[in-house]
Structure 1
């Protein structure tokens, strides 16, 4: 699957409608973003079961700020609507493949249990 462009208007729906979503936060003026783009695009073609989304931080400044994006490129991975990976900086192809494999291999029952535990602890404080 090729990459898809998303925006503040489509971000939440994209995360909700797909099992695994990787989001590349980038800007046109960002040199490292431009170097990472071909790696991201090539990897997207190797994983039909993953949505590889791109979000322009300049065009979506409010959402980017709300998500705590302070450096670009930043890569976030969501599985079943849960943020499971968040890292600033361009990844080389082997590391990006490793992230995709790790996200696919997650035990989501355990992840959801951890999320519920953290919510319960936060409500108890």
Structure 2
């Protein structure tokens, strides 16, 4: 699958419609973002089963702020709507391919259990 540009309006539906979503937060003025773009595109073509989304942080400032983006490029990976990876900085094709494989290999029952435990812990701390 080719990369797709998404906005704040499409973001929730993109997560809903896809098992795995990678999101590249970038800006046109960012040199490392421009260097990473062809790598991201190349790996997206090797994994048609994954949504490779791009968010222009200049056009989508509120989405970037909501995602806590403080440095670009920032790459995020979601699986079953759960954020499982977030890291600023450009990576090479081998590292991005390894990330894709790692996200695919996650035991999502375990991830969901960890999220539930964290949420339960957060709720009890607030009491």
How would you bin the TM-score normalised by the shorter chain? over 0.9
- Let me know the Cα RMSD of the aligned residues: 0.5
Deviation at 1:109? 0.3
Runs of 4+ in 1 over 4 A off after TM superposition: none
What is the distance in 1 between the residues matched to 2:67 and 2:38? 24
What is the distance in 2 between the residues matched to 1:33 and 1:53? 14
1:34-55 deviation line (CA, Å, top 9, x unaligned): 0000000000000011000001
Q: How many pairs were matched up?
A: 125
Please show how residues 12-23 of structure 1 align to structure 2 within 5 Å. Answer: 12-23=12-23
Deviation at 1:16? 1.4
SS at match of 2:114: helix
Equivalent in the alignment of 1:4: 4
What is the distance in 2 between the residues matched to 1:107 and 1:48? 21
Equivalent in the alignment of 2:55: 55
Runs of at least 5 residues in structure 1 that lack an aligned partner in the other structure: none
Matched, 1:75 2:75: yes
1:74-95 deviation line (CA, Å, top 9, x unaligned): 0000000000000000001110
1:18-46 deviation line (CA, Å, top 9, x unaligned): 10000000000000000000000000000
Deviation at 1:63? 1.1
Please show how residues 1-125 of structure 1 align to structure 2 within 5 Å. Answer: 1-125=1-125
